[in-house]
Amino acid sequence: MTCLNPQSHEPHEYLADADAVTLSPCPGRPVTRPTVEEWALGVAKAVSTRGECTRRRVGAVILDAQNRICGAGYNGAAPGVESCLDGVCPRGQHYEIVPFQHGGSDGCACGNAWPCPEAAPVGSSYDTGPGACISVHAELNALLDVSDRSRLEGGTLYVTTVPCDGCLKILKVTRIIMVVYENEEGGTSVESL
């Protein structure tokens, strides 16, 4: 058993077997846990790792009024359909490679110079026309994951980025009352529906 308190102190009793980490109160170190918001956004981040977009991975989790998970989703193609990771999404094939170190451009992901003539026009719709994205957004996939719609009453959706206008429009006709997301400044923003 391992105590997480780095300061020396008297031994104390542990709650489980010798391979576990103690969760019991330790002298000199208060027991803490994340807020519901921190925890839910952490779950949404974990869910985002399953995202199927080469450009951006987004995760969403819905908590009911009792702060229990009732749905989770990430951005991706329909089950059983080839996805962006398989190279079938036009936006996933053509986007600017910007090196982290020096800025500038290393060209298009397809190997052409940037701007690539095959890339979707800047500002074009993700949902219609040339370059339409094949993924379903994380927020909608989280809604589709909810098996008991009554659990949406008074619920909150937590998502790893600001929801698009289309997702907000859909969320406003559900019983979800709030959306919490990570903003561009690294903090969180809350939007009442």
pLDDT digits (tens, 9 = 90+) for 44-100: 999 999 999 888 899 999 999 999 999 999 999 988 889 888 888 878 788 888 776
Kindly report the backbone phi and psi dihedral angles of residue 146, in degrees, each rounded to the nearest multiple of 5, phi listed first.
Answer: -75, 120
pTM of the model: 0.77
**CA–CA separation, 160 vs 49, rounded Å?**
11
**Cβ-proximal residues to 29 (8 Å cutoff; 6+ apart), any chain:** 4, 5, 7
Q: Which residue has the higher pLDDT, 42 or 120?
A: 42
| pLDDT of res. 125 | 79
Determine whether 139 is an active site residue. yes
Strands (E), 111-155: none
**CA–CA separation, 161 vs 177, rounded Å?**
18
Question: What is the torsional sign of CA 160, 42, 61, 88?
Answer: positive
User: Are the beta carbons of 152 and 70 closer than 8 angstroms?
Assistant: yes
139, 182, 184, 185: the active-site residue: 139
User: Are the beta carbons of 83 and 76 closer than 8 angstroms?
Assistant: yes
Longest Cα separation, the chain: 69
Average pLDDT, the chain: 84
Helix and strand tally (H, E) in the chain? 4, 5
**CA–CA separation, 136 vs 84, rounded Å?**
11
DSSP reduced 3-state for 189: strand
